[in-house]
Structure 1
Amino acid sequence: MPRDHPEWINERRRELGDRIADLHTAAGHTKKSFCEATGLSRRTLQRIERGETDPRYSDLLRIAAALDTRISVLVD
């Protein structure tokens, strides 16, 4: 976890990661197929899903497109 963020930001980051993981599992994606669908590396997706990093806007766009949803569904 980044050391300079307050805990509430870390918690929201973990919530985002959990939501992405739940949605890609519900959509029937494996880790490999989700990586292929998003064009993101397995490591990047793992870090996002564990809440270890702030995803770039372009990453969120790719994830939302692969899940056939809007970014607002991911970050709500």
Structure 2
Amino acid sequence: MPRDNAEWIFERRRELGNRIRDLRLHANHTQESFAELTGIDRRTLQRIERGESDPRYGHLLRISAALDIPVSDLVQ
């Protein structure tokens, strides 16, 4: 397995971050209010939304619960 990430991984990470941001905005949450709702640090949410960080599975569970959607809808 290669040590460095392939470009497609970075692209998928950006897509996931964009989807989370769009859903958060559609639900009328600021990053700060969403951080409080999910219990995830605001800086961590920022990195996830920018596609700079791979979210933990637990973060995906918290995000999907706050948005009232299945995890599978986030990562489609």
Q: Shorter-chain TM-score: what band?
A: over 0.9
Bigger radius of gyration: 2
Question: In the aligned structure 2, how far is the partner of 1:30 from the partner of 1:50?
Answer: 15
How many residue pairs get aligned? The number is: 74
CA RMSD in angstroms, aligned pairs only: 1.1
CA distance in 2: counterparts of 1:31 and 1:57, whole angstroms: 19
User: Which residue is 2:72 aligned to?
Assistant: 72
TM-score, normalization by structure 2: 0.93
For residues 55 and 74 of structure 1, what CA distance do their matches in structure 2 show?
12
* Moved >6 Å (runs of 4+): none
**Structure with more contact order per residue of length (Cα contacts < 8 Å, sep ≥ 6):** 1
Gaps in structure 1 of 5+ consecutive residues: none
State how far apart, in whole Å, the 1-side matches of 2:53 and 2:32 are.
Answer: 20
Partner of 1:21: 21
Unmatched tracts of structure 2, length 5 or more? none
- TM score, norm. by length of structure 1: 0.93
Aligned identity (percent) is 68
